[in-house]
Amino acid sequence: PPPPPPPPPYPGIRIPNNQFWIAVCDSTLPDVVTVSTKVTLCDGSGRRFTIRNFNRIQLPAAAGRDARAKANLMAQQLNAILVPTPLGPKPAFIAVIGPPTQFPGAPGIQLQVCVSINPALAACGFSLEGFCMSMTNWTAYIIPVPRVPHPPARRRPVMVIPDPPSDPGSFRMTFGNGDPLFPLVQQVQVPFQAGEKPENILRRMADEINMIGGQAHVRGNRLLTEGLPIEPAPSTQLGEGPYVYECGALDNQVEIQIEALSLHSVDPIICKVDFDGLEQGLIGYTNPVVQFAGPGFGTDANLINPGFANTNWLPGDSFWPMTRQNIGPNNVGMPFNISDDSVVAAAGNTPFPTDSQGFAGQQFGGDGFFGITDTVNPQSPGQVGAQFLFDVAGFDQLGVVVELAAMGEFEPDDFFALEYSVDGQPFQPLIVMQSDQGGHERYYMDSGQPVDQFNPQRVLSLSSQGGYLHQLTDYWTEVDAGIPESGNVLAIRVVAQTDGAEAFGLDNLCIVGQPATPTCQPDLTTSAVPGTLGYGVPNGVLNNEDFFYYLTLFASNDPAADLTTGAIPGQPGYGVPNGIIDNNDFFYYLALFAAGC
């Protein structure tokens, strides 16, 4: 009989049941409210479209400003969103206001708006994939979670303050574990001054989050929340990461936006290797498994063939860039552990209708990627590594974004990791895969045949507080991690060990970052008198106010006084905070102050 049809394209991440709840907090509405709404819908074929609405509303003097007024305004805006269909425009949502039953015990949350997608749209196959609503001084957001077996979503709340506030106020974030039975909720709040730079406000918020055990950092006018001290446990079925109930300014007209973005979305790509010939910012590449004599550095999968490359590894083993359209450097086709030959065979292979192993199917076409399997072989003792060198001079706030895939029943000894080193320092782990012993994953071959395997691979990104998990499948999953250092040359090392019918894939290795801006590091404040305007706000002028401000921080054992591990230039830890405030920090600041700006 003919093989069953292949599964439909990955339809994207969707919100289960097409229903979600928005928490309505107690911050009051200003006289003029700007409301921005962004909705993304998708269908079963993976097609998606986005609707954006923007309104500026002058509230009458007699109108309410409390949570009820805010909820009413929100429901009105949601119910007014229309979706074009062949039968005419249809409302996208049905929004109903009620008590905060989904947010029990959440401080500051007074009401909730229950939002459901219009059943008429759901009947046509539409699902809600993304939603974000921003108001003048308050923002609601929903980050969707996947439906198994599709890849999970990583929640990464990103708060944006586009412009300085016109008046003084407070910035508040409420977060929790999202458990309706055993809720845990916490708040973080910081004050700000009129005209204060957005990045200064966000840095104070990041400091507060980090002090209580979370992990947040600032990139320009954006606050990225990698982890919070209270959040849902990692789950391959419900997505992972921080769950933020609300975030915004209290009684103030500063605009705040919030979305769920990856590092790729936030920072520009400064270096990239796509294994199809692009070697942007790459200044070196070494791979002990393959000898390469062609143009470039040897990352182009189209050139890793007997014409330009060779290896002593036997058929079935690999640790090099590859594509389904070429045979490998050992003069054979793509390893069976990697290639899905159930419908169309890769070059050098033959069709195998009952194939049950391999993530690189016909949808890969000629796309190149780095393929890894069976590194424990007669030519290799086990773990192998390839190193990429990138020019990152002039950039900081670095991060790595990469696409990963894996398939097989992995043993505890199977290993895959990305490590980093800046300017020749010892390598540090960045992204680590580990087998989920006892776990289960269903893969799909091109023939449509489901394959159930145990002990799938999960990814632990060490950039997140406590780590977070992605369960890898035969789909590409984007994973990212921040690098806490900067310099001139960034080395990324890919290390792996597999023994048997397990396979890893890596594609689109990107380095992201921001242009480094020269700053006067010892400039800490405008005034050294607590409570006065400009206290704790750098002003570009280095004077005694900065020195006495630091003395106050140092004497009070303030975490902001932790500047270094050692005070001797050139020694390990110089300029790297270590969580300990001692004389090294004082003399480090003294040297900075004496050097001037």
Would you give per-residue pLDDT tens digits along the chain (597 residues)? 444 444 444 344 445 566 777 778 777 777 777 777 777 776 665 566 677 777 777 888 877 888 888 888 888 888 888 877 667 778 888 888 888 877 667 777 788 888 888 887 777 777 776 666 766 655 544 444 433 333 344 556 777 777 777 777 788 888 877 666 777 888 888 888 877 888 888 888 888 988 888 878 777 677 878 778 887 655 544 445 566 766 666 655 555 544 444 445 556 789 999 999 999 999 999 999 999 999 999 999 999 999 999 999 999 999 999 999 999 999 999 999 999 999 999 999 999 999 888 888 887 888 999 999 999 899 988 889 999 999 999 888 888 988 888 888 777 788 889 999 999 999 998 888 766 665 666 777 888 787 776 655 554 443 333 333 445 666 677 777 788 788 999 999 999 998 878 889 999 999 988 777 657 889 998 888 888 877 887 887 899 999 999 999 999 988 889 999 998 887 878 888 888 999 999 999 999 999 887
3-state helix/strand/coil string of 319-360: EEEECCCCCCCCCCCCCCCCECCCCCCCCCCCCCCCCCCCCE
The whole-number pLDDT of residue 419 equals 95
CB-based contacts of 131, cutoff 8 Å, min separation 6: 15, 20, 37, 38, 39, 40, 115, 141, 142, 144
> Is 133 found in the same domain as 20?
yes
Among 515, 531, 563, residue at a domain's last position: 515
Across the strands, what pairs with 35? 55
**Domain-embedded: residue 8:** no
- How far apart are the C-alpha atoms of 553 and 564, rounded to whole Å? 14
Phi and psi, residue 75, nearest 5°:
-60, -40
> Is 231 found in the same domain as 189?
yes
What is the number of structural domains in the chain? 3
Instruction: Pick the closest to residue 337 from 371, 292, 311, 314 (CA basis).
Output: 371
Task: Count CA within 13 A, CB hemisphere, residue 593.
Answer: 18
**Domain-embedded: residue 470:** yes
**Domain-embedded: residue 213:** yes
> Is 236 found in the same domain as 297?
no
Beta strands per DSSP E along 179-254: 185-192, 215-219, 222-227, 243-250
pTM of the model: 0.57
Scan for tokens 């773990």, then name that residue: 383
* Rounded alpha-carbon distances, angstroms, from residue 106 to 179, 205, 289, 437: 11, 19, 55, 36
**Domain-embedded: residue 4:** no
Task: Using DSSP, state whether 74 is helix, strand or coil.
Answer: helix
Which domain does 562 fall in, by range? 518-597
Instruction: Pick the closest to residue 13 from 104, 148, 105, 139 (CA basis).
Output: 148
| DSSP-assigned letter for residue 6 | P
> Is 495 found in the same domain as 474?
yes
Which two tokens mark 91? 């409302």
Scan for tokens 């049950």, then name that residue: 356
> Is 254 found in the same domain as 329?
no
> Is 215 found in the same domain as 187?
yes
- How far apart are the C-alpha atoms of 34 and 134, rounded to whole Å? 8
Among 515, 539, 560, residue at a domain's last position: 515
Classify residue 535 as left (phi > 0), alpha (psi -120 to 50) or beta: beta
- How far apart are the C-alpha atoms of 81 and 51, rounded to whole Å? 8
Residues in the chain: 597
3-state helix/strand/coil string of 404-448: EEEECCCCCCCEEEEEEEECCCCCEEEEEEEECCCCEEEEECCCC
- How far apart are the C-alpha atoms of 109 and 67, rounded to whole Å? 9
CB-based contacts of 348, cutoff 8 Å, min separation 6: 327, 328, 332, 333, 334
Phi and psi, residue 53, nearest 5°:
-125, 140
- How far apart are the C-alpha atoms of 388 and 286, rounded to whole Å? 7
- Give me Rg for the CA atoms of the chain: 27
> Is 440 found in the same domain as 395?
yes
> Is 211 found in the same domain as 307?
no
- How far apart are the C-alpha atoms of 124 and 128, rounded to whole Å? 12
Among 481, 515, 549, residue at a domain's last position: 515
The whole-number pLDDT of residue 473 equals 61
Task: Using DSSP, state whether 592 is helix, strand or coil.
Answer: helix
Structural contact between residues 250 and 172, judged by C-beta atoms closer than 8 angstroms? yes
> Is 335 found in the same domain as 348?
yes
Convert 554-574 to b/e letters by CB count within 10 Å (16 or more is b). beeeeebbbbbbbbeeeeeee
**Domain-embedded: residue 196:** yes
> Is 277 found in the same domain as 203?
no
The whole-number pLDDT of residue 338 equals 93
> Is 213 found in the same domain as 332?
no
> Is 286 found in the same domain as 191?
no
Structural contact between residues 257 and 202, judged by C-beta atoms closer than 8 angstroms? no
- How far apart are the C-alpha atoms of 216 and 45, rounded to whole Å? 36
**Domain-embedded: residue 6:** no
**Domain-embedded: residue 2:** no
| DSSP-assigned letter for residue 151 | P
**Domain-embedded: residue 175:** yes
